[in-house]
Each structure stands twice: as structure tokens, then as C-alpha cells.
Amino acid sequence: MGTVVDAAPIKATNESLAEKKKPTVVFVLGGPGSGKGTQCSNIIENFGYTHLSAGDLLRAEIKSGSENGTMIQNMIKEGKIVPSEVTIKLLQRAMEESHNDKFLIDGFPRNEENRAAFEAVTGIEPSVVLFFDCHEKEMERRLLSRNEGRVDDNIETIRKRFRVFLESSIPVVEYYESKGKVRKIDAARPIEEVFESVKVVFTPKNEKAN
């Protein structure tokens, strides 16, 4: 009996997200410094999405003084992937608090476990996965020349983040490629040029001809 009662509220929460709002989700993936955040800002201005950066949500969680803060801070400093449970809770909360039903989820899922857990917990599959493809030299240049005071924008952590990206995040891109959901963008170009390619993905097919 007890287990039935305990399970009910969890199910209800998941249902409210998956069924009540039926959100449209686009995952925005790409290596560190590939321009995910920059392009998401452009997308939200033009296409009515709400931008949820997993990295920004985790950094806000550190600042809020949450009990997970120190753990998250240490993972980010090492370029490691924070446990799915923590990140998914933050994403779920942000989606529930939003009045929008269209979300760009940036920098998540970062590994297969993130991906499977998100789909299992929320019941949401992305409609499309944007993949910003950029070579490491350019990503490194961008990360080292931006000055956002991030603890992970130093050469040592950057190298670790590149490795984690190749080993853990590329398999997620490959998974969605096998499902025909990936739209690959050449992200080594200037911001405006990249956005021209991004726009095509968000423009309905019947409008493209005009």
C-alpha cells in the first residue's frame, strides 16, 4: 500500500509535464565553445522558444547555495558530467515554471545515460537535435578569448571537456543521427553565417521557397 501512495505524486508530476503542456524540445549539442549559447540567443529572438542552458542552470544552482552546490562546482571544474538526476530535476523545474511549451535545451544530454534518463523521467523525445560541428582549434580559441570568469575556461579543463565531449557526448549525437533527428551545422564560421544555417532548420518547409 505504502509504495502505491508514494509512487503517485511522482507519476503525476511526470504526467503534467509530458501531457498537460506537451512541450516541444530541441536539444542543442556541440563541443565546448561551438557557439550553442550564442546561437540559442538568436533562435529565441526569432522563433518563440525558451532557452534552457543546462550549464547555466547548474551554475545558478551553485550560486543558490544548494546542498549539491559543492559537488556540482567540483564536477564543472574537472569538466565532468554532473549526475543525470540533478540536471534533469533542474530542467524539469524550469520547464514546469515556464509558460512556454517550446524549449531549446542547450548542452544536454551530454552522455547516453543523461539521454536515456531524460526520456524515461519526462517522457519527452526531442523533435530535432541541432549539432554545432566545430574543430577543436577554433573552439579552444573561442573559450580562451571569452572572459566570463568561468572556472572551466582554462586550458587544462578545456582539454578535459574536449575529451568528455568526444567520448561521451558524440555517442548521443550518433544515437539521434540513427533516428534521423540531427541537423548538423558548420559552426566554425562567423556568428551571422552560422545563424543563416540555423534559421533554415526552424523555418517551415513551405515557407522556405519564398
Please name which of 188, 161, 156, 195 lies closest in space to residue 45, comparing C-alpha atoms.
195
Please state, as a whole number, how many other Cβ atoms lie within 10 Å of the Cβ of residue 5: 8
The mark string for 87-126 relative to ligand UDP (x by CB under 6 A, - otherwise) is x-------------------xx-x----------------
Residue 37 sits in the site that holds Mg ion (CB under 5 A): yes
Q: Which is nearer to ligand UDP, 61 or 182 (CB)?
A: 61
Q: Tell me whether the omega of the peptide bond preceding residue 109 falls within 30 degrees of 0, making it cis.
A: yes
Residue nearest to ligand UDP (CB): 55
- Binders in 138-197 for Mg ion, by CB under 5 A: none
Q: How many residues bind ligand UDP (CB under 6 A)?
A: 18
Q: With the CA atoms of 162, 195, 114 and 53 taken in that order, what torsion angle do they form, in degrees rounded to the nearest 10?
A: 100
The reply, when asked if residue 146 is annotated as ligand binding, is yes
Per-residue interface string for the shown chain with Mg ion, residues 101-130, x marking contact by CB under 5 A: ------------------------------
User: H or E stretch including 45?
Assistant: helix 36-47
Specify the amino acid at residue 35.
G
Q: Is 80 annotated as a binding residue?
A: yes
Options 14, 50, 73, 80; binder of ligand UDP; rule CB under 6 A:
80
Which of Mg ion, ligand UDP, none lies near 126, with the C-beta cut-off 5 to 8 A by kind?
none
The answer to whether 55 and 110 are in contact (CB under 8 A) is: no
Q: Is 204 annotated as contributing to ligand binding? A: no
Distance, in Å, from the CA atom of 153 to the CA atom of 188, rounded to the nearest integer, reads: 19
DSSP E strands in the chain: the ranges are 24-30, 50-53, 102-106, 128-133, 182-186
Q: Which stretch binds Mg ion (CB under 5 A): 31-39, 60-68, 146-154, 161-169?
A: 31-39
Residues forming contacts to ligand UDP in the complex (CB under 6 A) are: 32-33, 36, 54-55, 58, 75-76, 79-82, 87, 107-108, 110, 152, 161
